Each structure stands twice: as structure tokens, then as C-alpha cells.
Amino acid sequence: MTAETVSDAETVSDSETVSDAEAVRERALASLVTARERTTLLTTCVDGPELTAQHSPLMSPLVWDLAHIGNQEEQWLLRAVAGQEAIRPEIDSLYDAFEHPRAERPSLPLLSPKEAHRYAAEVRGRALDVLEKAAFHGTRLTEAGFAFGMIAQHEQQHDETMLITHQLRRGPQALTAPDPGPVPLFTGPAEVLVPGGPFTMGTSTEPWALDNERPAHRREVAPFWIDTTPVTNAAYQAFIEDGGYDEPRWWTAAGWAHVRRASLTAPLFWRRDGGQWLRRRFGVTEVVPPDEPVLHVCWYEADAYARWAGRRLPTEAEWEKAARHDPATGRSTRYPWGDADPTPEHANLGQRHLRPAPAGGYPAGASPLGVRQLIGDVWEWTASDFLPYPGFRAFPYKEYSEVFFGPEYKVLRGGSFAVDPVACRGTFRNWDHPIRRQIFSGFRTARDASRETS
């Protein structure tokens, strides 16, 4: 696979029209309001002790996330964009994600839930005043409202993190949401052929794209087959029943060592009860639904399943080509279905539901080649390490992406039911350690195709 940088404009002109500015302002306001509504739900559905407790050493107390959201908003929108004096500079270090590992955060002198809510609300009130007067040009941080989009995405990413914490917490159900609508049993082809050839990966024109999505560049990809839908619970159960967790030949050496060390026997939150599998989902125990995409598996599990099935995980470039490339036009679109923003008909996003939809759902969201559910439902592990694109430049700070580049992290794509549309698009890149299972992660598999089929 080769890469070549594509030259696209990365800035907007200072001659931005009034209508353009108002459209940016409206989008930024809506994104910030949506994020705060979700943050409020996630931090008011349980009482104070639940907010200050650490429900897993992998996660922060919910109250830390709440104040961190406010602190990041203050630092970027009030201080960096508006040049205002700090409201509470003494708490900056408490809510610096790099200064304090998650396991240490409960021991810090954190703001109380009441103080954290008050602080986040004060910052938001001032931020909305800044937004009302903002000019969306002049600096890279303000062009097309980037800083406001970055903060909305940051808050939604922490909302997803807080939703993971809610899944990990023990106790009665605190969150509810309707299930996805009934989906007819999918009877289409099990896999789709993606033709070989070049395509444009990444973006240089998406105004709120983050640094690791940039710049747009050409990638050459050989023809390959990819699963039409994510791997289901029923398919994964077949791997378990065939002794998949007991057979080292399906696992990498590191994966097999992790299986033995962590005593893995099934996806996280699963347990066998007699002849059936049960799972715990947001405080409710239920039978594992066979037709949903498998959830809460680590990269090693996904890779082992793929080997067992005689297949492999798709590379990140293959995943993006399947999700964005339109063979009829040669273009890379923003989403599998085109350039339009997601709607509830396209994908399961935004915590509208608290579970994936059955495999084969959302036909309106299919790619031109017919691949389904590439956006939403479950994050999909890829075979690729998290690495920079050619021509990458860190912006606006190295700690967002650059410090994570390397083989220690694997790339996930596509988003999950817990991801808001503002933080999910065809170019969006997520990453995590290959042992992580608390995240809303699943996968689909791929296989090589001969060049004669392209």
C-alpha cells in the first residue's frame, strides 16, 4: 500500500460571507447544546456518591469527566479564542489527563459534584457569549468555527467515556432508551468485493476534522472482500463453542499470553447460564441477542476470530475505502451514503439507543457497494497500528494524537451507538490498546481477492 499527499485548501478565506458565518454559528451552538444535554443526563441520573466513586480503575470518576469538560472548554474557548483571564487556574493540573492517570484521580482534591456542575455551567455561559460575537476567520483555531467544533467533539467523546463508566458500574439501571426498531433478518450477500485501485483517504476540507484525519492523500489498495455487516453474537458464539479461547493457533503470541493472563473465555459482560449466554447491559441482565453485532471484544479477540474464520481484519485503508469510495464517480464521500449529515435513518448514533441494531439494519446508510453499518452501532477494530498520515501536522496540541502514534495502539473506525454525529464521520479515527474491552468495540472481517477480480 502506498500513499501520496493530495493538495487541498485547508483554510477558509477572510471574505467569508455573513450567511456563512451564521451557518457556522448555528452549527456550533447546536453541537454545544446537544453535548451539554447529554452530559447533564449522564451526570444527573445517579446520585453524588455514584459520581465521585471510581467504578473501574480503567475509568475516571464521573465528576472528574464533568469538570474536565468544563476546564477544556475554558482553556480553549475562553482563554485561547477570547483571551479571557482564567476562572479557576488552580484546578488546571487536577484535570490534566496527562498529569494524572485515571487510577489516581479519585484521590485528588476534585471539585464536588455541585461545584463541578456550577463551574461547567459558568464556563458554558461565557462560551456562548464568545460564540455570539465570534468571527470565524483569521486564525487556524477560529476558521470555520474549528475551536467550537473541537470542544463539542471533546465533550461528546467524554460523554461516550462516561457512558462506558455507566456500563461498568454495578447497581440498578440508571439509564433507559428505546431499542432500535425491528430489523428484518438480513439475507443479502455475506461479503462484498471492493475493487482495487487508488482512492482518497483522509481529508483536507472537512472543517471540523481533527489533526489525525489530515491531510487527504492517495492510497493504492488491492482488491479485497469485506463482510457486509459486522460479525454477530451468533457468529462469535460459534467461535467460542469451537474452543476458540482454548486453541493458541488462532492467537498472536501476545494475544495468547493475554488470554491466559486475563482468563478470557468470552466477550466482556458475558456469562454462561446453563445452555445459554447472558450479558449485563447498563444494569440489566439479558439473553445475548444472536443477531446483534458482537460488542466488548478486544483487538486480540477480533484478530483470533478472523483467523479462525479463515479471514483477517481489514486494514484501516481498506475500511475507509469500503466506507467512502464511490466507484461510479471515483470520489471519496464524507459518509458511506454520500455527503449528507447522518440522520436516524442512516445510522445508530448519539445514544438514541443503548445497544447496537441487528446486523443488516439501516439500508439507507449502506455504501455504494452495499456494505452496511459502517457508521454507528459498534466501533470496528482494524488490523492497523495508529500512525500519522503523510504530511501530518499536530494541531492544536501534540497531546491529542501525536503522542499516541505507534504500534502500542490499534485503530478503530466507524463509531458506535454511543458516538454523537459531531464526532463521527468517514475519516474519523479512534485508537486504543489491543487489550481494551470496556469500549463499545466490535469488528468485521476481510479477505484478499485476486487482482483479476478488480
Here the cell at position 404 is 499516541
Rounded Cα–Cα distance for residues 393 and 212 (Å)? 8
Tens digits of residue pLDDT in 207-264: 999 999 999 999 999 999 999 999 999 999 999 999 999 999 999 999 999 999 999 9
- Kindly indicate whether the domain formed by 18-168 is annotated with CATH number 1.10.510.10: no
Q: Are 203 and 339 in contact (CB under 8 A)?
A: no
pLDDT band at residue 182, thresholds of 50, 70 and 90? confident
Q: What is the CATH number of domain 191-233+299-453?
A: 3.90.1580.10
Q: Where are the alpha helices (DSSP H) in 75-194?
A: 113-133, 146-168
Query: Does 2 score more than 80 pLDDT?
Result: no
Q: What does the pLDDT read at residue 138?
A: 84
β-sheet bridge partners, residue 279: 270, 286
Tens digits of residue pLDDT in 302-354: 999 999 999 999 999 999 999 999 999 999 999 999 999 999 999 999 999 99
Residues 6 or more apart whose Cβ sits within 8 Å of residue 75: 92
Domain boundaries, the chain: 18-168, 191-233+299-453
Tens digits of residue pLDDT in 39-59: 999 999 999 999 999 999 999
β-sheet bridge partners, residue 217: 5, 201
The CB-based long-range contact list for 265-268 (8 Å cut-off, 24+ gap) reads: 265/240, 266/240, 267/236, 267/294, 267/295, 267/296, 267/297, 267/301, 267/437, 268/296, 268/297, 268/437, 268/438
Mean pLDDT confidence for 81-100: 96
Q: What is the DSSP letter of 78?
A: I
Mean of the per-residue pLDDT values for the chain?
A: 94
pTM for the full predicted model? 0.94
Q: What does the pLDDT read at residue 451?
A: 52
